[in-house]
Structure 1
Amino acid sequence: MEFSNKEVRRQDRLLDEKRAMEIIKEGEYGILSMVSEDADGAYGIPLSYVWDRGNSIYIHCAPVGRKLKCIDANPNVSFCVVGKTQIHPDKFTTGYESVVMKCTAHHSLHEAERMSALSLFISKYCPDHKIMGMEYANKSFHRTEIIRLDIESISGKSKAMF
């Protein structure tokens, strides 16, 4: 995984690596962008996610559906997480922070990795309900697919006006 802002057009709006990692860690949702399964366009969707604090992001979905068809057709995806935003109507602009990751998507993971990812979801989104969350994860395991996004590169951009 490489953090690089060299391809960001506005070099005056670079987000540093430390803040980019904080946004990935703390983000509530991200937007997964893929090539459409019929190669006739693009498909993007907002999703809850967890980061393993290493090189992977995990998302969950049903065992069948459009996301999986897109990934099967082309596993190269983009994942974007937005940090703080603030509209400044009097200046006709918006303050923002965002992180974009180039990733390779994988599914049909081993059961242990899938359960580990579900545990990360429970820790992030339901920290006060871990026991009930793991019971729910076990009960729903057969109808839950986990997708791992292996992060190849990360870039970050901001227009600080907060």
Structure 2
Amino acid sequence: MMEVTNYHNDKVRRQDRLLDEAKATELLRSGEYGTLSMSCPDEGAYGIPVNYVWDGDQSLYVHCAPVGRKLQCMEKEPRVSFCVVGKTNVLSDKFTTEYESIVLQCTAHRGLSDAERMKALSLLLDKYSPHDKAVGMKYAEKSFHRTEIIRLQVTEWSGKCKRMMVE
């Protein structure tokens, strides 16, 4: 499996909380969902949690309806941010939270070929419904005409974590 290039932690303010690239890559692969954040000219910012799948290279895929606010925002401004949060642990007596997260800067692409769209749906099924893939592929084919796929092309990304020492 390839790794996403352009992993840079130099812009992370807390250099003592860096998530190493191997752990960040695993979080990208295994994360359950991410928050897609967009700037919508004339509307302000918009963020929404979505399921996603990483292709093992430079792209994430998100599926949605063929119309909606996120697509309108991306048409006006295709540069987006995507955040995945992994394990968290609130330490109430220490007034802090342990966490791990990655933030990806991406360019959103629509109008993908039918082959790329179907490949993305297959990857999503591999991730979220591996035991029901055959039925899922039939469903994907049946609903293909009303399903939009967005490719988020990663331009750069970083990772951060906080782990407390056990006393």
> 1:33 aligns to what?
37
2:132 matched to 1:98? Answer: no
Give a deviation string over 1:84-108, Cα, whole Å, max 9, x none.
Answer: 1000000000000000000000011
CA distance in 2, matches of 1:39, 1:85: 35
Letter in 1 for 2:101: S
| Secondary structure of 1:4's aligned partner | coil
Note the aligned Cα RMSD (angstroms): 1.0
2:48 matched to 1:5? Answer: no
Give the aligned length: 161
Shift of 1:41: 1.3
> 1:54 aligns to what?
57
| Secondary structure of 2:143's aligned partner | helix
> 1:23 aligns to what?
27
Q: Quick one: which of 126, 132, 136 aligns to 1:133?
A: 136
Letter in 2 for 1:28: E
**Structure 1 outlier segments of 4+, above 6 Å:** none
Structure 2 alignment gaps of length 5 or more: none
TM-score (norm 1): 0.97
TM-score (norm 2): 0.94
Structure 1 alignment gaps of length 5 or more: none
Shift of 1:160: 1.4
> 1:78 aligns to what?
81
Shift of 1:39: 3.1
Identical-residue share of aligned pairs (%): 61
